Structure 1
């Protein structure tokens, strides 16, 4: 029988996984692409109340999100939706998107990233934050930091402030990412 790149069973128990803390939004590593031939990575993202990610565009991977707790808003180009526990969404590569906690309690999603590899971006971003490169390095104007710009380039990621961003922040009473 032929396998798809995974050579051993991988088990991650509840509460396990390395974590990178970012302002309002964290990354908990559940499945690394290095363990399955680069096919997929799975990252859990807890969202604080009022948190929104900076709007960004992936050029190499698609993201498939499953809401576990709370109400999470998603905007990908012109499409916007708020999903509760059990809701699924795909954010295709090439579209500018952001995610936010649209409710009044902490939220949590699982992000399935295909192909894998992008999970390493969060680890490297955490290293930049720990090193003190830009105080809140998840803001919409990160391109002002040469270290962050290089990291984004390395992972085929671009940041921007689309015309819908301020409206989403206002409608949901969010804390916009700082720079």
Structure 2
């Protein structure tokens, strides 16, 4: 069993404004946890509003400022701040500052590795929504435009 992972040992999902790297895959933890490292450029939206039904997320910001929607509340999380994003609560997050934001997301249990690995093979929003649904997530794709207009952010 491997206990240490270095950049390049797992996989990453690069987009123009967001890079998500699997820092610790679920198979290394017996499925109890996955850890993502995310770098978000200014103006980057990590994901549209979405709801997890099977897992919780905990976000730790170690550089920059992250704007977050949690239910109906919008908040900012700066360096050293932590936010809990519980299952069954709609949420989204983005870089609300003017420097890159760097954060760690712990997903418990670690159910979403297959979702992240499957994203590059999708062709358009409908396939992304269907992939998410197969992992117990509801993606509200229309929210990306609304968040973009309100905060000046985009996913690409």
User: 1:29 corresponds to which residue?
Assistant: 22
Q: Tell which structure's C-alpha radius of gyration is larger.
A: 1
User: 1:172 corresponds to which residue?
Assistant: 151
Number of aligned residues? 154
Show structure 1 runs of 5+ residues with no match.
1-7, 135-141
Preserved CA contact (<8 Å) 2:10 2:25: no
Name the structure, 1 or 2, with higher relative contact order (CA <8 Å, separation 6+). Answer: 2
User: 1:18 corresponds to which residue?
Assistant: 11
User: 1:148 corresponds to which residue?
Assistant: 128
Deviates more, 1:38-47 or 1:150-159: 150-159
TM-superposed CA distance for 1:43, in Å, is 0.6
Which residue of 87, 100, 108 corresponds with 2:102?
108
Show structure 2 runs of 5+ residues with no match.
none
In the alignment, structure 1 residue 46 sits paired with structure 2 residue 36: no
TM-superposed CA distance for 1:46, in Å, is 1.0
Shift in alpha-carbon separation, 1:31–1:67, aligned structure 2, 3 A: same
TM-score normalised by L of structure 1: 0.76
Supply the distance in 2 between the matched residues of 1:98 and 1:84 (Cα, whole angstroms).
16
User: 2:55 corresponds to which residue?
Assistant: 61
Supply the distance in 1 between the matched residues of 2:34 and 2:83 (Cα, whole angstroms).
16
Query: Which is strand-richer, 1 or 2?
Result: 2
Supply the distance in 2 between the matched residues of 1:22 and 1:127 (Cα, whole angstroms).
14
TM-superposed CA distance for 1:119, in Å, is 2.5
Counterpart secondary structure, 1:123: helix
Preserved CA contact (<8 Å) 1:43 1:119: no
Preserved CA contact (<8 Å) 2:58 2:105: yes
TM-superposed CA distance for 1:88, in Å, is 0.3
The alignment's C-alpha RMSD in Å is 2.3
Supply the distance in 2 between the matched residues of 1:84 and 1:149 (Cα, whole angstroms).
30
Counterpart secondary structure, 2:105: strand
